[in-house]
């Protein structure tokens, strides 16, 4: 074979290989784009004639137009350059194939996610349709509802206090003056805020509730028939500096608050929650033990009393947000209405209450209950229970408690004990006939409650040397002080000593030295010549100087050996000049004297305008100085 023949053979065999390679390239493009899309693409790129050509150069040109997507290419490559062109085209095709593979993979994942979301959405829609058709109930919720309904359908009988509490103002015993004062302030066209002072268990809460009911029936008061009476104990109210919760005034549930409504939290809308002051709107807000309320909360309450509204604030509130509901917008812009009458009750003295609160409220004083008041309360409770009481029961209960609530509880305990005894002994049901409560039953109740008498009657007609009764008041309760003194010649002449029990307090100790000075001033007795021992029986603590006169009389009697009357009681501060100065707590002190059986008392003349009208059974003498009182209380020399 000559050279030309060899060259021709090599070209023919080489071109055959290129043809197969080019055809394989077109097959690859068919697989990538598909036959129809490939033809359509070649038509747009003016490469269809090149594809169908039998010339290798034109077929390669067609590949170039399709791969590079450039219809302007028109240079037909020769056989020598075709291999290198195919290599470039293969590189480009590899990039296209890689991108297409990645794109298909991404599309598959996207389609999978879309399908998954679509299925979840269909599932949620189906569940919502099922809930709407079946409602919020299921067998478990219906079972719990049935159990709750059963619990609501049965209950124990009412408590003794609930059953026996006063149902009208006439049943509030011993507070006639206090109730008249209360009604004059609330049953008016212009009712006032009120603070009720008084000892516990005398009917402050019951009177406030019944006063509103009585005021509703009067035509000249602003209270409607449905005016609310909202009651709360101040010991349960606490001021939260973060303002996340305030049951008295209300608070704002911000969108981040755990209890915020979902539709509001998702829109970033805060929701105000009103408190008791808004619940009491147009009615009465009764706060028991108001003296225990936090001072910061008192200040905020005073602001509400002035504005008659509660204003809310939140950093999340946007007045320009059209999605804010109308009621929320109104709360933030106009506040929540809180026009009510405040009635506060306290067992504290007025000076223990915030001056700002006292200045906005009228004062009403409820008095301690006398033994006769306790007896009337017991009689009313016995009538409601349908029981018969012996006279001894009424007398015993009145000696062991000064609270109406305590008297009712004792009677209720005795009633239950009678029923229990009848069951224990196998007797017929005592409720089928009148139940009788006697002294033995009430004594057993007193023993089980470990109660002791409040104050046993201590007055006696037998005079005694160095002993006298003083009067004391603690809070709204009064009692008597049994003061005694003895004297001996000083163990060392001129070095007499005075002993006084420290439990009585520093103020009482100062009163002893004042009394010793006055004794020397008016009688010439030098206490340094005597050893004196003064005692307050029972270790009572004397908070003020009101026992000064009684201490002087005890020392005077002990040194002169002249007996003192034991059917009297004395109260008054003693000055160094021998003047008997005015004291406070007269009403409470006279109640203490009444309970102790004292029929005559001596008080400072400067207290004469404070004479209580409800102590007609006690003779009250007003004195100005010790020279005036000495002959009235001594028995024997220069006395009665």
Can you give the pLDDT at residue 7?
45
CA distance from start to end of the chain: 177
Residue 477 pLDDT grade (very low, low, confident, very high; cuts 50, 70, 90): confident
- 604-to-135, 570, 574, 590, 609 alpha-carbon distances in Å: 79, 9, 10, 13, 11
User: Which has the higher per-residue pLDDT, 629 or 500?
Assistant: 629
Of residues 349, 414, 331, the one with CA closest to residue 378: 414
Model pLDDT for residues 129-160, shown as the tens digit of each residue? 666 655 566 667 677 777 777 777 766 666 66
Q: Which residue has the higher pLDDT, 279 or 426?
A: 279
Cβ pair 599, 618 in contact under 8 A: yes
Distance from the Cα of residue 586 to its chain's centroid: 35
> What's the rounded mean pLDDT across residues 317-324?
85
DSSP 340-406: -EEEEEESS-GGGS-HHHHHTSEEEEPPPPPHHHHHHHHHHHHHHHTEEE-HHHHHHHHHH-S-HHH
pLDDT given at position 590: 83
Instruction: With cut-offs at 50, 70 and 90, classify the pLDDT of residue 539.
Output: low
The DSSP letter of residue 148 is: H
Per annotation, catalytic residue among 65, 204, 560, 589: 589
Phi-psi map region of 245: left, alpha, beta (phi>0 left; psi -120 to 50 alpha) = beta
pLDDT above 90: residue 229: yes
pLDDT over 90 for what percent of the chain? 18
- Is 273 among the residues known to form the active site? no
Given pLDDT bands bounded at 50, 70 and 90, which one contains residue 257? Answer: low
The pTM (predicted TM-score) of the whole model is: 0.68
Catalytic residue among 181, 546, 557, 571: 546
User: Closest by alpha carbon to 555, among 606, 494, 626, 506?
Assistant: 626
Which of 341-345, 403-407, 475-479 is predicted least confidently? Answer: 475-479
Mind listing the domains of the chain with CATH numbers?
A: 3-101 (no CATH), 175-365 (3.40.50.300), 373-448 (1.10.8.60), 464-633 (3.30.230.10)
Interatomic CA distance for residues 404 and 247, integer angstroms: 31
546 is catalytic: yes
Q: Residue 223: what pLDDT?
A: 93
Measured between alpha carbons, how far is 191 from 97 in angstroms, rounded to an integer?
A: 91
- More reliable by pLDDT, 572 or 104: 572
pLDDT of residue 283: 93
Q: Is the pLDDT of residue 250 over 50?
A: yes
- Answer whether residue 464 shows pLDDT above 80: yes
Summarised one tens digit per residue, pLDDT across range 433-456 is 778 888 888 899 888 888 887 765
User: In b/e form, how buried is each residue of 548-573, taking b as 16+ CB within 10 angstroms?
Assistant: bbbbbbbbbbbbbebbbbbebbbbbb
Contacts of 134 (CB under 8 A, 6+ apart): none
Tokens representing residue 623 in the block = 């004195």
Beta strands in 121-193 (DSSP E): none
The yes-or-no verdict on residue 252 having pLDDT over 50 is: yes
Q: State the pLDDT at residue 114.
A: 82
Q: Residue range 71-96: average pLDDT?
A: 79
pLDDT of residue 4: 43
pLDDT reported for residue 135: 57
What count of other Cβ atoms lies within 10 Å of the Cβ of residue 612?
A: 14
Highest mean pLDDT among 94-108, 128-142, 182-196, 513-527: 182-196
pLDDT of res. 456:
56
Share of the chain above pLDDT 70, in %: 86
């Amino acid at each position: 074979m000559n050279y030309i023949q060899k060259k021709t053979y090599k070209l023919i065999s080489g071109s055959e290989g290129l043809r197969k390679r080019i055809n394989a390239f077109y097959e690859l493009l068919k697989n990538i784009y598909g036959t129809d899309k490939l033809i359509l693409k070649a038509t747009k790129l003016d490469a269809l004639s090149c594809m169908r050509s039998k010339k290798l150069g034109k077929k390669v040109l067609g590949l170039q137009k399709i791969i590079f997507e450039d219809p302007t290419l028109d240079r037909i490559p020769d056989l020598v350059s075709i291999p290198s062109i195919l290599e470039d085209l293969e590189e480009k095709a590899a990039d296209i194939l890689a991108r297409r593979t990645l794109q298909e993979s991404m599309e598959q994942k996207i389609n999978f996610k879309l399908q998954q979301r679509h299925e979840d959405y269909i599932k949620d829609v189906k569940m919502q349709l099922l809930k709407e058709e079946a409602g919020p109930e299921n067998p478990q919720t219906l079972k719990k509802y049935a159990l709750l309904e059963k619990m609501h359908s049965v209950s124990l009988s009412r408590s003794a206090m609930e059953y026996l509490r006063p149902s009208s103002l006439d049943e509030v015993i011993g507070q006639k003056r206090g109730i008249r004062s209360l009604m004059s302030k609330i049953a008016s066209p212009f009712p006032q805020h009120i603070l009720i002072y008084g000892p516990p268990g005398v009917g402050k809460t019951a009177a406030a509730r019944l006063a509103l009911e009585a005021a509703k029936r009067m035509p000249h008061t602003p209270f409607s028939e449905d005016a609310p009476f909202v009651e709360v104990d101040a010991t349960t109210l606490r001021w939260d500096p973060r303002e996340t919760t305030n049951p008295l005034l209300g608070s704002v549930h911000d969108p981040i608050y755990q209890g915020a409504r979902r539709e509001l939290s998702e829109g970033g809308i805060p929701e105000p929650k009103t408190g008791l002051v808004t619940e009491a709107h147009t009615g009465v807000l009764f706060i028991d033990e108001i003296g225990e309320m936090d001072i910061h909360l008192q200040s905020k309450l005073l602001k509400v009393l002035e504005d008659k509204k509660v204003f809310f604030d939140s950093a999340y509130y946007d007045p320009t947000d059209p999605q804010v509901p109308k009621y929320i917008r109104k709360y933030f812009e106009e506040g929540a209405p809180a026009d009510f009458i405040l009635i506060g009750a306290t067992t504290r003295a007025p000076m223990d209450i915030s001056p700002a609160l006292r200045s906005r409220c009228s004062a009403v004083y409820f008095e301690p209950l006398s033994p006769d008041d306790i007896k009337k309360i017991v009689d009313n409770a016995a009538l409601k229970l349908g029981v018969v009481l012996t006279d001894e029961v009424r007398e015993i209960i009145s000696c062991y408690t000064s609270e109406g609530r305590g008297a009712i509880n004792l009677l209720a305990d005795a009633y239950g004990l009678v029923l229990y005894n009848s069951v224990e002994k196998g007797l017929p049901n005592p409720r089928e006939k009148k139940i009788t409560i006697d002294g033995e039953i009430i004594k057993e109740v007193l023993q089980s409650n470990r109660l002791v008498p409040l104050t046993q009657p201590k007055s006696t007609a037998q005079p005694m040397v160095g002993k006298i009764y003083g009067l004391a008041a603690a809070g709204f309760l009064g009692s008597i002080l049994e003061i005694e003194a003895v004297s001996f010649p000083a163990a060392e002449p001129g070095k007499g000593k005075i002993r006084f029990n420290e439990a009585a307090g520093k103020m009482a100790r100062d009163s002893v030295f004042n009394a010793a000075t006055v004794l020397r001033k008016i009688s010439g007795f030098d206490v340094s010549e005597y050893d004196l021992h003064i005692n307050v029986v029972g270790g009572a603590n004397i908070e003020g100087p009101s026992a000064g006169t009684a201490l002087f009389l005890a020392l005077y009697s002990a040194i002169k050996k002249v007996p003192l009357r034991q059917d009297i009681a004395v109260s008054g501060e003693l000055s160094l000049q021998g003047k008997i100065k005015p004291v406070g707590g007269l009403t409470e002190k006279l109640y203490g004297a009444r309970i102790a059986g004292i029929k005559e008392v001596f008080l400072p003349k400067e207290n004469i305008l404070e004479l209580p009208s409800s102590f007609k059974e006690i003779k009250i003498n007003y004195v100005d100085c010790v020279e005036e009182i000495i002959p009235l209380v001594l028995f024997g020399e220069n006395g009665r």
